[in-house]
Amino acid sequence: MILTQPDAIGLLAVLVLAGIVVWDAVWLVRQSRLVPELGPAPGGYAWASGGAEEAIRHWGNLFSMAAMLVLPWGFIRISGTSVVWAVVWDVLLLLHLVGLLVPKRYAVTRTHLIADGQRYAWERLKLADRQPRRRIMLLRRGWGVFGPLPVAAEVNELTTVRAWIAAGLLGDEAWSLMLEEE
């Protein structure tokens, strides 16, 4: 089967998006192994968000994905791309969207923040100067525009989580004080 140039580009776009969806799904599954239990843990704290908190956390991504769902349809006729690629694109984006809204598990230890199934060393993170009210905004050092790392927590846990994250960022003495309070 030989694809026309527009269909080859459509296939490439779909394959890249499929790779992203699979990559995120792997990290989503991994998070439950990294954070098996919630609440105070030996040497740290673990919590989960709900779907509403994840929607707040990813509000910008959700609007971007809405645009990404619609935009290809405007270019199909002009470019001569098969409708199949737009349908597959939309299905993959919807799967990715569901993955963003699934409740997540987070944890803090003396050395790391665990978010989205990945470990982030405290020395590679900093608090954003402006903090939103309903989530915690961290910045990954050296990541430029890709640096924001929003962290979600249920409303009743947000203050506790902020304190643990602040202790992790401040270091050993602050961390020891948090452990004593628990």
Q: Are residues 96 and 135 in the same domain?
A: no
Q: Are residues 10 and 41 in the same domain?
A: no
pTM of the predicted model as reported, rounded to 2 decimal places = 0.83
pLDDT tens track for 71-88: 889 888 888 889 999 999
pLDDT tens digits, one per residue of 9-51: 889 999 999 999 999 999 888 888 888 888 888 889 999 998 8
The whole-angstrom separation of Cα 26 and Cα 73 is 29
Q: Kindly state whether residues 95 and 66 are assigned to the same domain.
A: yes
pLDDT digits (tens, 9 = 90+) for 138-180: 999 998 888 899 999 998 899 999 999 999 999 878 787 877 7
- Cα–Cα distance, 97 to 62 (Å, whole number): 7
Tokens describing residue 22: 């699979």
Q: Last residue of some domain: 85, 101, 117? A: 101
By C-alpha distance, which of 38, 24, 42, 55 is closest to 118?
A: 24
Sign of the dihedral through C-alpha 13, 19, 20, 21: positive
Q: Return the pLDDT at 1.
A: 62
Q: Is there a contact between 1 and 79 (Cβ–Cβ < 8 Å)?
A: no
Q: State the residue range of the domain holding 24.
A: 1-33+50-101
Same structural domain, 56 and 109: no
